[in-house]
Amino acid sequence: MDWIISDKPVEYTDAVSWMEQRVADVRSGAADEAVWLLEHPPLYTAGTSAKAEDLLNPRFPVYDTGRGGQYTYHGPGQRIGYVIQDLKKRQQVPDIKKYVWQLEEWVIRSLAEFDVRGERREGRVGIWVDLGNGQEAKIAALGVRVRHWVTFHGVSINVDPDLSHFNGIVPCGIKEFGVTSLKALGRNVSMQDIDLALKKGFDTVFVL
């Protein structure tokens, strides 16, 4: 497993090109699996289930992407984790639902390092935080694509992004609840801190 960390924002199209090539290389045996931790410049991505009416204000570039899900924002202050993984190697019977559960669990365990309780919600993609008084907000998003049982795309965790940038879309098609970040929850967490937490939790979830 290769861990790659980018210190400067990576253009979305460059990241997708890299993932496409890496998936092919993993499948052919030319490269190892990889996790790429990075940030993007401000942008919106449209998953395969995106609805046009959920793009409220295209103030940033909009990219159609082959991952599952609807509209998502990416930008500075958000840690992206792209995971290139061979499910045939890691699971006796390749199971995408199990893989998505593992991605969720990876994020939940990483957030717990900062005393934040991330939770799943039935019928809602992503990881959620209970804010009290009946309020909750999404702190992490997931979007997955699988080709010949090799995964790509992955997760995004809101560390300290400009939350107003989410106002240009209906995040993941869910209007009833907002978004939050580690910073908004009072956690002063650096990218290096979240990277260490992600590395720590990875092998406990994705067991070979």
CA–CA separation, 178 and 132 (whole Å): 13
The residue behind tokens 């990889």 is 34
- What ranges in 58-179 are assigned the alpha helix state H? 87-90, 96-112
Cβ–Cβ under 8 Å, residues 72 and 161: no
User: Which uninterrupted H or E stretch holds 177?
Assistant: none
Map residue 5 onto helix, strand or coil. strand
CA gyration radius, the chain: 16
Q: How far apart are CA 22 and CA 33, in angstroms?
A: 8
Told to judge if 84 belongs to the known catalytic residues of this protein, a careful annotator would answer no
User: Which is the catalytic residue, given 172, 189, 197, 198?
Assistant: 172
Q: Is 23 left (phi over 0), alpha (psi -120 to 50) or beta?
A: alpha
Task: Calculate the alpha carbon distances from 8 to 2, 11, 37, 161, 194 in Å.
Answer: 19, 10, 11, 15, 16
Catalytic residues: 172
